[in-house]
Amino acid sequence: MAARALSGKPIADAIKDEVSAEVKKLGFRPGLAVVRVGEDPASAVYVASKVKTTEDLGMYSEHIHLSAETSHDELLAIVKGLNCRNEIDGILVQLPLPGHIDDREILEAIDPAKDVDGFHPMNVGRLSQGREALVPCTPAGVIEILKRSDIPIAGQHAVIVGRSNIVGKPMAMLLLQENATVTICHSRTRDLASITRQADIIVAAIGRPGFIRGEHIGEGATVVDVGINSVSDPAAAAELFSETDLPKRLAAIENRGATLVGDVNPKEANERAGAFTPVPGGVGLLTVAMLMKNTVDAAKMRRRS
């Protein structure tokens, strides 16, 4: 029996509707400033989506696009200026930044109260203590998918494959807050499959296309695929996609040069898992929705304090 697909779209749409309703009740427009440096094509697409969604939900949006030659100090000054502006509730500096800019220093310069990406050490620390904090959008989106799909979390064994600061570590904190038993695996983990097969919930965030295969998945487990990778080789695509899905994937490779796949082999996951998130169409759609929620939450918390 095929696994249940946990589509991100209806959940993302529901969260956006909730944010829009909340904005109407606030009596003011929360403001989100997005800063982009350089001409990275993927960043341009992501930022355009964030700006449009912000405006669609009734919030104030400001897009600051800087040349790739912008200096570290110039960007730092812009961030500090945004920190001081009361109409700006959220600040997002789109990564990656040009190599001559220290992204860690830039991100740490953002006022923690406006850190809608949830990357500032103060928000990371508050999250680890279970206190109110702005939480990284992708892990927060994973929790929403599980809860709104009626996947039980409390008492379940959740295995996270990947230990990044953006997904793996905050994911562990959020799952612990939901009373899961959490194991974090990574590139140095021995006999990975023997651990992941014990999981009720697997969160794959390792950045390797199709890495989690059937042998890693216990029968009936829920598999959440956070990865976004490109596959351009038709032979590799044939290993990853089912007979029904393969033709459109091959067409994408022919027409666009590549097709998207996550960190999980979808063909094998579909045979073993009880439920899984597709790529595209799964977790990725939640990231922008959770950014909108974080912006509203930041606006409310700032005014409360």
Q: Which residues are catalytic?
A: 50, 94, 117
Cβ–Cβ under 8 Å, residues 174 and 140 = yes
CA–CA separation, 223 vs 14, rounded Å?
A: 22
CA–CA separation, 196 vs 185, rounded Å?
A: 9
* Chain center to CA of 91: 17
Cβ–Cβ under 8 Å, residues 292 and 54 = yes
| Count of other CB atoms within 10 angstroms of residue 20 | 15
Both tokens assigned to 68? 């790739």
| Count of other CB atoms within 10 angstroms of residue 247 | 10
User: Tokens 């953002």, residue?
Assistant: 110
Task: Give me the long-range contacts of 151-154 (CB less than 8 A, separation at least 24).
Answer: 151/6, 151/201, 151/222, 151/275, 152/200, 153/178, 153/179, 153/180, 153/201, 154/178, 154/179, 154/180
* Chain center to CA of 104: 19
Work out the end-to-end distance of the chain between its first and last CA atoms, rounded to an integer number of angstroms. 52
Is the peptide bond between 121 and the residue preceding it cis, with omega within 30 degrees of 0?
Answer: no
